[in-house]
Amino acid sequence: LYPAALDYVAPTSVASALSALVDGGEDAKIISGGQSLIPLLRLRFAAPSVLVDVRRLPGMRGISVDAPDLVIGALTRHADVLSSPHTTGRWAFLRVAASQIADPQVRNLGTLGGALAHADPEGDWASVMLSASAEVTLVSPRGTRVVPVREFLLGMFTTVLEPDEILTTIRLPGKAQRLGGDYQKLSRRVGDFASVGVAVVLGVRERGLVRKQTVIEQAGISLTAVGPINTAVPVAEDLIIGEVPSTELFKGAAELVARGLSPHDDARGSADYKRAVVRAYVVRGLQNAFRTAA
Amino acid sequence: MKISIELDGSETAFDVEPRTLLGQLLRDQGGVSGIRLDCETSTCGACTVLLDGEPIKSCAMLGVMADGERITTAAGLGSGPEAVVTSVLDSDDLLPCGECRQAMQLVAAALVRAQPQATRAEIARALSGTICRCTGYQTVVDAIKTAIDGARA
C-alpha cells in the first residue's frame, strides 16, 4: 500500500505556504504530522497532487499562556501536551486527553492542528476543544479570521477551512475563577478509535461572603464517536450553568445527554450500550472536572 | 527529490520520490533491513525508528519529511544504559519470532533515556504502540524492568 505519485513542498514562511496552496488549487493538501493523512494516502482514499508540509512554518509549535487564556500552536504534537509545563493545574485535562490518543509513536508525530482540521468524528481533540469553547485562528491570502470550534466543525471530515487556508493557533479561554476538565474514553484496545468519548470542561466561582457557595459559570459537555461529527450538548450545558454542583445535578445533565443521543449499533457496541456508557461518563467527567478545578 | 538524513550517526544523501515512505526508503536505499513493514495500516509499530530520539512509525511518514532530521535504527543504538536495556531483548526465548524485536529495542532505548526510573506501568505504556504476537508482553516488560534497574545500579 503506497501513496499515488505526488509533489511535495516544505515552505518555511506562511506567505510561501499560502502561495503553494493557491498554486495547487483544490488538489493541494496540507500535511503536518501525517498520522491520519498518510494512512489515507496509502489506502488511496486521498490522492492530492501536491502536499504542502507546514511543519517548517515558524512560531506554530508550542503551548503558551496569554493570561488568562492558553494558546496552542497548531503544530504542537500530542506528545508536547504531555510534557508542557503549562498543561498542569487548570489545564491538566489536556494531558488527560492527550494520553489517551492513539499510541506513543503516533503521539510523537501527530499534531493538534492537524487533528482538528482533519475533523474525524472519532478524533478526540475536537470534543475537548468544543467543551473548552476554544477558538481557532485561520490564515489565508484574504487575511486572518478567528472561528469558534463550535462553528469550525461542519460535519464528517468537513470544516469551514478553505482549500487555501491554514489553521495556525488554538486559543482556550481561561477567565473562569476555577477551571477543570476531563476526558473519558472507551476504546477496545490501544490505538483503536474511541467507541465512545466524553469531554467535559467546568468553570466555577465562589459566591457569597458569609455563606460561601460554589456556582458553575462555564460548562462544556461534548461527545466523540456517537454521531457524524463531534458535538457539544448545549441543552445539558445550559442545565448546569448557574447551578451549585452536585451529583444529582450531574446525573440530570447526563440524562439529557443520553436522551438526545442516537448512536449506531456497530462492532464497537450496541446503541443501548453506548448510551449507557455516555450516561456514566458524563457524570464521572463532571465529577472529575469539578474535583480538579483550579 | 534530493534529501539528506543523519542515519545512525552518518549524514546520508538520498534521491527519493516524494511518495516514498520513510520505512521503504530506509530499507530499499538505506540498507536497514531490520525495519519491518508489516501491517500496512500504521498500527503494528514494527517499522519504528527514532526521530531525534523519539519513537515514530516509519510507515506513517514520507521519506522527504525526514530531510535534515536525525534518524536512529536498532543498528545505530549506542552503548551505556540503552545497550544494557536493549541487549536483554536479543534473546530468542523472549521474542521468539523476532519480527517486533528491533522496534521493541528502539522503544526501550528511548524510554531508558527519557525515564531512567520507569515503572512497570510506564514500560507497558511505552510499548503500547508496538505489537508482539508471540509473548503476551509480560516477560518483555519484566526483562526491560530488570535491565533498567540493573543499568541504574
Contact B45, B130 (CB under 8 A): yes
Chain B residue with minimum CA distance to A102: B129
Instruction: From A120, A90, A84, select the one nearest A102 (Cα to Cα).
Output: A120
Could you give the CA distance from residue A68 to residue A31 in angstroms, rounded to a whole number?
A: 31
Give the model confidence (pLDDT) of B99-144 as tens digits: 999 999 999 999 999 999 999 999 999 999 999 988 889 999 999 9
A272 burial class (0-12, 13-18, 19+ CB within 10 angstroms)?
Answer: exposed
Helix (H, G, I), strand (E, B) or coil at A172: strand
In chain A, the percentage of residues whose pLDDT exceeds 70 is 100
Give the model confidence (pLDDT) of A30-53 as tens digits: 999 999 999 999 999 999 999 999
Residue A266 amino acid letter: D
- Is the per-residue pLDDT at A161 higher than 80? yes
| Count of alpha carbons within 13 angstroms of residue B43, beta-carbon side | 9
**What value does the mean pLDDT take over residues A86-91?**
98
Could you give the CA distance from residue A191 to residue A103 in angstroms, rounded to a whole number?
A: 5
Looking only at the bridges linking them, the beta strands covering A196-207 and A63-66 are unpaired
The reply to whether residue B65 touches residue A53, judged by beta carbons under 8 angstroms, is: yes
A192 contacts in chain B (CB < 8 Å): none
The reply to whether residue B54 touches residue A79, judged by beta carbons under 8 angstroms, is: yes
**Residue A266 Cα, gap to closest chain B Cα (Å):** 21
Task: Return phi, psi of residue B25, to 5°.
Answer: -60, -45
The reply to whether residue A39 touches residue B42, judged by beta carbons under 8 angstroms, is: yes
- Confidence label for A212 from pLDDT (cuts 50, 70 and 90): confident
* Residue ranges in chain A assigned as alpha helix (H): 14-24, 37-42, 78-83, 92-98, 104-107, 112-118, 125-131, 149-152, 234-240, 247-259, 271-292
Contact A135, A146 (CB under 8 A): yes
Looking only at the bridges linking them, the beta strands covering A153-155 and A196-207 are unpaired
Q: From the CB of residue A220, how many other CB atoms can be counted at a distance below 10 Å?
A: 25
What the block records as the C-alpha cell of A148 is 469558534
Of A105, A107, A118, A187, which to mutate for an interface test with B (greatest number of B Cβ within 10 Å)? A105
- Confidence label for A268 from pLDDT (cuts 50, 70 and 90): confident
- Confidence label for A211 from pLDDT (cuts 50, 70 and 90): confident
The reply to whether residue B129 touches residue A42, judged by beta carbons under 8 angstroms, is: no
In chain B, the percentage of residues whose pLDDT exceeds 90 is 76
Of B15, B51, B56, which to mutate for an interface test with A (greatest number of A Cβ within 10 Å)? B56
Q: Which residues of A touch B (CB under 8 A)?
A: 1-8, 10, 31, 34-35, 38-39, 41-42, 51, 53, 55, 79, 102-106, 108-109, 190-191
**What value does the mean pLDDT take over residues A62-78?**
98
B61 contacts in chain A (CB < 8 Å): 34, 38, 109
Give the model confidence (pLDDT) of A220-237 as tens digits: 999 999 989 999 999 999
B130 contacts in chain A (CB < 8 Å): 105
Could you give the CA distance from residue A112 to residue A278 in angstroms, rounded to a whole number?
A: 24
**pLDDT value of residue B153:** 65
